[in-house]
Amino acid sequence: MEAILDSLKLLDYENKLVRKKGFKPISRSYFAIAATNASEQFLYFVTLVSWLLALNNHQVKDWSKYDDPQTTSQNILLELQKLGIDLDLAPTKIKSGYGEGVC
């Protein structure tokens, strides 16, 4: 997770994403362990993925906090496949918003 956070800082995510969306900067273990508010953690993950996809000129429809987490997780994996990132990962592994699949 430390390498991920360093990469996000190189992309200036604190100014380009965190401040714009009203999030707090993530800690080194934010996506590694369950947070007190699981839906907030999943929303942060989805927003981060959407932002990273946009940086790669791959626009996706805005995923909403009201969308079904299972469907959103499947859509994330489909969008990554479109970019040639083939993951052997079940949508349930990212639906929680934390854990190895999310990291």
Q: Domain residue spans in the chain?
A: 2-95
Enter the tokens of residue 55.
């940086």
So what's the pLDDT on residue 36?
A: 87
pLDDT digits (tens, 9 = 90+) for 26-62: 999 999 999 888 889 999 999 999 999 999 888 887 6
Which residues have C-beta within 8 Å of that of residue 42, sequence separation ≥ 6?
A: 69, 95, 96, 97
Give the predicted TM-score (pTM) of the model.
Answer: 0.90
Q: How far apart are CA 79 and CA 74, in angstroms?
A: 9
How far apart are the C-alpha atoms of 72 and 50, rounded to whole Å? 11
